[in-house]
Chain A
Amino acid sequence: MPIVKVTCLDKYFGRLHVLKGLSLEVEQREVVCIIGRSGSGKSTLLRCINFLEEPSAGVIEVDGIKIQGGEKGQQRRHLIHDIRLKTGMVFQEFNLFPHMSVLGNVIEGPVTVKGMDHARAVELGEMNLDRVGMFFKKDEYPNRLSGGQKQRVAIARALTMEPRVMLFDEPTSALDPELIGEVLNVMKKLAQEGTTMLVVTHEMGFAREVADRVLVMADGELIEDAKPSDLFSSPKDPRTKALIDRYRTGEQ
């Protein structure tokens, strides 16, 4: 059974049709990268999965919790809350809480949302900070960290909620080039540990190396869904080809 299942997802911003009847599935322990040009709807898709954007129509299903898009109600709010507990989100702009220490950021979710015992949350938080290599900065405040360090802390914060799937929304796009590597390495490690991941990215190298599947988006539609080896060697759609060619020339 897939962890994430999106069926016929539609999203309008006013009269702008951003997502056009899009469907996808992510299996457990799978790493799926979504690539595509800016404005193709990649981020919106990701944000619809944990309802930071309200889908206009379609069905979102995460770990057996199913929600129909475009409806309202008290019951539904609980379901959205449940889906958010099962998804961990990493943002392009990190969005660490500046008034809390690194450890404070990481344990905020478990303590406030899950009502976890403080000592246990600290134990769990420190373990996850260690996983991303940020344990040594646990008492520092976010403004004292580099961009790459901030993003690693943000990953640890999402992991500490013990989600079933991690959603990455262009996690390296706001970083200086020399800081991208440390974040990608952490994500690679998570992938090797069997974390289910859905990653919106412009890092083709990462997609090719780490992803089990790569989805290509253009104009609010999925135009390709293939293994990275197939996709990068023989793209079917001309738009995919253009995307990959541009990446190749950029790399040289």
Chain B
Amino acid sequence: MNLFKKDAHAQKSQADLLYEAQQRKQLQFRIKVAMSWIGLLAFLLFLFSGLEIKSSMGKTTVSAWSFHMIVENGRDVRARTEKILFSWPYGLPNQGLDITTIVVDRAFINKNIDFIASGILQTIQISLYAILLATALALLAALGRLSTNPLIYSLSTFYVSLIRGTPLYLQIFFFFLALPQLGIILTGLWAGVLALGLNYGAYMSEIFRAGLSSVGKGQREAALALGMTPTQTMRRIVLPQALRFAIPPTGNEFIAMTKDSALVSATGFVHELMWRATKVGRAEFRNLEALIMAAIFYWIMTLVLTSMQSRLEASLSKGER
């Protein structure tokens, strides 16, 4: 009896040990990944820090470069100035070492960060309208694609083919610049929303088609056998399951769309992130700083949206199936 108990205990702890070792390995891996990320970020920050490290015979200095307004020939000019942070009377022999990094104009960033940041709202607004339009179109196109009516099927495939066969950039300009020639004048915003919505609708129709096909024939038959009409079957049984299937990839498309919305800035009348960044960047020839700011905002937006989406995905997969 005693022996048996001991044996059972030993067996269990061995499995546990294996499991624990695996867990530990995974945790270590994740910690290393996190540290590497921090390292890469730190490197990127250093790259744009404006620091300079010089070391030669008898002298090592670390200095910080920045832009300052100085008076030169009686005019205010923005010029790089050096400030020595640290100095040491010894240094490396021979050629020595000179590491310079990129100097960004902090004054420009401080002055324009609010202006660029306020474009986030507009970017989200465009994407939100466009994704709603795209979802509706994608669903219609998917239903059309599965239809046995040749006209409806053709409408759906024609739309998808036409949109996928032309560049999004062209479509935006078409709605903004070409339609006024026909007497249809759209604001930059609505031209952008329409173009993005139509474009993404065509691509997303494939997602919805897969969603609809994922609902088995048996589901339809069970609904029909209960006496449901085809419409009731679609609304109560097929669509809820298809949409649940389609929500995660739709989230991905939305994230992609927030970035593609930058193309709408080309119309020049939608004051979203990209437009604002290029406007201030060009005006003062500070494109580097302006685009970096915009890039950071886009990046943060996608990080937030991605985490929201993965949480949504987790909560959806919990329940059924």
Chain A residues at the B interface, C-beta cutoff of 8 Å: 50, 52, 81, 84-85, 87-89, 91, 93, 95-99, 108-109, 112-114, 141-143, 154, 157-158, 161
Can you name the residue of chain A whose Cβ is closest to the Cβ of B228? A113
Question: A99 touching B244 by the CB < 8 A rule?
Answer: yes
Question: Which residues of chain B come closer than 8 Å to A161, judged between CB atoms?
Answer: 226-227
Question: A112 touching B236 by the CB < 8 A rule?
Answer: yes
Question: B232 touching A143 by the CB < 8 A rule?
Answer: no
Chain B 290-314, CB-CB to A under 8 Å as 1, else 0, gives 0000000000000000000000000
Can you name the residue of chain A whose Cβ is closest to the Cβ of B226? A109
The answer to whether residues A98 and B222 also contact, given A85-B227, A112-B236, A161-B227 and a CB cut-off of 8 A, is: no
> What are 9 A-to-B residue pairs whose CB atoms are below 8 Å?
A85-B227, A89-B222, A95-B216, A95-B221, A95-B222, A99-B244, A112-B226, A113-B227, A141-B320
Compute the total of residue contacts between A and B using a CB distance below 8 Å. 64
Can you name the residue of chain B whose Cβ is closest to the Cβ of A109? B226
A103 to B227, CA, bound (A): 18
Question: Which residues of chain A come closer than 8 Å to B228, judged between CB atoms?
Answer: 109, 112-113
Question: Which residues of chain A come closer than 8 Å to B225, judged between CB atoms?
Answer: 50, 52, 84, 87-89, 91, 158
Question: Which residues of chain A come closer than 8 Å to B237, judged between CB atoms?
Answer: 97
Question: A141 touching B319 by the CB < 8 A rule?
Answer: yes
Can you name the residue of chain A whose Cβ is closest to the Cβ of B237? A97
Q: How far is the CB of A142 from chain B (nearest CB, A)?
A: 8
Question: A157 touching B226 by the CB < 8 A rule?
Answer: yes
Question: A98 touching B224 by the CB < 8 A rule?
Answer: no
Pairs of residues from A and B, 9 with the lowest C-beta to C-beta distance, nearest first? A95-B222, A89-B225, A95-B218, A109-B226, A113-B227, A84-B227, A98-B320, A85-B227, A99-B240
Question: B320 touching A52 by the CB < 8 A rule?
Answer: no
A95 to B241, CA, bound (A): 13
Question: B232 touching A113 by the CB < 8 A rule?
Answer: yes
Question: B224 touching A84 by the CB < 8 A rule?
Answer: yes
Contact among A85, A89, A97, A158 for B219, CB-based, below 8 A = A97
A194 to B99, CA, bound (A): 93
The answer to whether residues A91 and B227 also contact, given A98-B320, A99-B320, A141-B319 and a CB cut-off of 8 A, is: no
Chain B 165-185, CB-CB to A under 8 Å as 1, else 0, gives 000000000000000000000
Q: How far is the CB of A157 from chain B (nearest CB, A)?
A: 7
Question: Which residues of chain A come closer than 8 Å to B321, judged between CB atoms?
Answer: 98, 143
Chain B residues at the A interface, C-beta cutoff of 8 Å: 216, 218-219, 221-229, 232, 236-237, 240-241, 244, 319-321
Question: Which residues of chain B come closer than 8 Å to A85, judged between CB atoms?
Answer: 227
A88 to B271, CA, bound (A): 60
Q: How far is the CB of A111 from chain B (nearest CB, A)?
A: 9
Q: How far is the CB of B316 from chain A (nearest CB, A)?
A: 11
The answer to whether residues A95 and B227 also contact, given A112-B236, A141-B319, A143-B321 and a CB cut-off of 8 A, is: no
Question: A108 touching B221 by the CB < 8 A rule?
Answer: no
Question: Which residues of chain A come closer than 8 Å to B232, judged between CB atoms?
Answer: 112-113
Can you name the residue of chain B whose Cβ is closest to the Cβ of A111? B236
Q: How far is the CB of B134 from chain A (nearest CB, A)?
A: 24
Additional A-B contact list (10), CB under 8 Å, known A84-B226, A85-B227: A81-B227, A81-B229, A84-B225, A97-B222, A97-B241, A109-B227, A112-B226, A113-B227, A154-B222, A157-B226
The answer to whether residues A52 and B221 also contact, given A99-B241, A108-B226, A113-B226 and a CB cut-off of 8 A, is: yes
A89 to B225, CA, bound (A): 6
The answer to whether residues A95 and B236 also contact, given A52-B224, A109-B226, A141-B319 and a CB cut-off of 8 A, is: no
Question: Which residues of chain A come closer than 8 Å to B222, judged between CB atoms?
Answer: 89, 91, 95-97, 154
Can you name the residue of chain A whose Cβ is closest to the Cβ of B319? A141
A52 to B218, CA, bound (A): 11
Can you name the residue of chain B whose Cβ is closest to the Cβ of A77? B229
Question: Which residues of chain B come closer than 8 Å to A99, judged between CB atoms?
Answer: 240-241, 244, 319-320
A143 to B218, CA, bound (A): 16
A82 to B218, CA, bound (A): 21
A143 to B318, CA, bound (A): 11
Question: Which residues of chain B come closer than 8 Å to A88, judged between CB atoms?
Answer: 225
A91 to B321, CA, bound (A): 19
Q: How far is the CB of B319 from chain A (nearest CB, A)?
A: 6
Q: How far is the CB of A76 from chain B (nearest CB, A)?
A: 14
Q: How far is the CB of B75 from chain A (nearest CB, A)?
A: 71
Can you name the residue of chain A whose Cβ is closest to the Cβ of B240? A99
Q: How far is the CB of B166 from chain A (nearest CB, A)?
A: 37
Question: B226 touching A143 by the CB < 8 A rule?
Answer: no
Max chain B Cβ within 10 angstroms of own Cβ: one of A81, A88, A113, A158:
A113
Question: Which residues of chain A come closer than 8 Å to B219, judged between CB atoms?
Answer: 95, 97
Question: B218 touching A91 by the CB < 8 A rule?
Answer: yes
